[in-house]
Structure 1
Amino acid sequence: MITIVEEKDAKFITHAGSFHADDVMATVLLEILYEDIPLARVAEIDEKDTDAFVYDIGLGKYDHHQDDKARRDNGIAYSSVGLIWRDYGMQILEKLGIQEYVEDYYYDIDDQIIMPIDALDNGEGERISMTISSVISISNPFWNSPISGDEAFLKSVDFMRMVFNVYIEYLKDVYNNNELDWDDGYDWLDQVMKKIVLDKANEANCFIFNEEGDAIDMWKEYGEEIITYYNKSSKHAELGVYDVNKMFVQPLSFEREETDEVTAYPVEQLAILMEHYHKNGEALLKEIFDTCIHSEVSRIQGMDYVEAQIDLSEHHIMILEQFVPWKGTLLKSESNKVNDIYLTVFPSQRGGWNFQGVPLSPASFDTRIKVPEEWCGRRDQELVELTGVEGARFIHPGGFIGGAENFESIMELAQRIVEYTEQNKTH
């Protein structure tokens, strides 16, 4: 059983903020091994200061953010889950009562489930839509989500626990020569995908006048009405249809092209296994479809919110009263005020407030702001003394982001950066 606790009460520690497939699946493996998991999710930790089992943070034995990260014989870097599987995988299988073909289980699970998670988390392999890794990615709370990061993390652990357990069930049949009929599974998938889209259209009060075709046809027919229903506005509905089709409907409607690249385990195969062993593959797909729709609606609402804040910006500063992904919207905005914005201030997910410079392009770390060189890389009292801003916490060595204890402090820091930028403009 996994319980989220304060750091002082934790026997296991991982990172806070956005979670990924590696730390989520690592938590599943540790639960099998140790059963009770009092877990703290923290912003930073030094392994020397704790007796807890620390993973995916801290630059220790079960982290992978070091420059000299461990790699497999095939060159693929380990992530936290791969490191734990490397050291404890055989014990985990024994704990599950697997006595025959233990090495076969170990290497099959590593090849199909663990290693692809490792590769993708380290920026290796090929990212494709609708895999177990992409499902975890979209399961992080949206900017306006009603659930907390810890709640979403635990829900994602439930998902990955299901993935691991059903794959074990599948391997038991494989090693007993009871191979699943995948052709029947894909026939079921085609039927249930169409049903899921039509069910969602009915839920959105669409007038169902056409049921001819497959899931893609149904989404083309009713997608805009569905997005409009959940967004309570038709604005950007066409964009929402395109994105949900790309992330969910299309990947599950066509046979995937073969690739030599490492890719995460596909959702369609997971759904077929869940339907075969537990008769809930349809429920799984419905839940993922809901997540895709709501994540896209949240993104659309975020675009509208950012556009409104652009129009309210003053003195080269845009203020976001709650964090929302903003860079893409700002850089594409056609507002007559957008080019006057040098930086954005917003609440930090770690407490306090941050400023961040507007990047010159989507992939650039260069920004519209100039920060005094002596401020960059400074923290806490040293930064307070240099800037004269009480409550200043940090400025990144690159100068593109910084933080303060409260709104008043971050605004004072932002205003001083704006003044410095104006004074040092190159014409």
Structure 2
Amino acid sequence: MTTENPAKKLKLDGPLIGTHSGHFHADEALAVSMLRLLPTYANSPLVRTRDADLLSTCHTVVDVGAEYDASKNRYDHHQREFATTFPGHATKLSSAGLVYMHFGRDIIQTVTGLPAGADLDILFEKIYTDFIEAFDANDNGVSVIAPKDLEAAGLTKKFEDRGFSIASVVNRYNYFPKAPSEVEPTKEQQQADEDARFAKASLFVGEQFVLELTDCAAAWLPARNVVLKAYNERLQYDPKGRILVLPEGMPWADHLYTLEKVNQIPEGVAPQVLYVLFPETTEPDSKWRIRAVSRENSGFENRKDLPGPWKGVRDDELSKISGIPGGVFVHAAGFIGGNKTFDGALAMAKAACDF
């Protein structure tokens, strides 16, 4: 939208949201999209301006105005004295983090229908940690690992990933090929075009947020109790507790890492699970997968790969090399494999534990 008649828009469409004009970033794009998930702001117009008089007509202002005051719906983080962080975290908030901290629980309830309680609190923390905090860090110039620490350790990147983040995608919406024209667009036309590109960026990043939230609510959160049950029953498959068996595929890693930290490990039991088994489908004759557990926060590095001689081998050849019937495959990287039956997958896991 353009910045004309914001007061009229306010009366017609609901609470007016304001943010800054000019080059935009992922944090305010997300902040605006999150607000619009709430019934209060579902039909709110947006004004993008740095004009203080126009901003004063807005019900809610994000990422501009040099003021953070939730009682006045002002959520900027650029002022020198600003140092607010999300509870339990050290990263200074951006406009995304501010909006999430104040409205996140209501947003989660609106999108998922989850009632207030422990599960809501768990999901509120999960979404901030896994999704929102990166927006805060990016906008405040915080690296995952400080460059000086990487240099001191003698580490260098294996490839360039700066174009691979949500922030980099949002930034691309700032630029567009200009069609040749004999007529120079007016300032109003230029502003309208910039606003339209911001709207696209905000829609994109908002969709990513909703996908993350709904997946966590529908799959990750319910998996918590299933993984707990499997963890408590793991000794029936391996006396050292190195194998976890799940009834179906699900997001298990976070829950497993947490259980290993908070539970006292009995004497003679391994402190960590090495392999997780789960069926490919819920059909009775489903093939089974064996997944090596990754080291926490290590990406593709596993606690223990599947055996080297199995890597990249399939079918009868795999069965022959492993000595276990029903082999389907083992990935060349050694992080996952398969067998035609549960018994075969379990035999693979047991052999891999002691390889």
Taking structure 2 as the reference length, the TM-score comes to 0.47
When Rg is computed on C-alpha atoms for both structures, the one with the higher figure is: 2
Taking structure 1 as the reference length, the TM-score comes to 0.39
Larger fraction in helix: 1
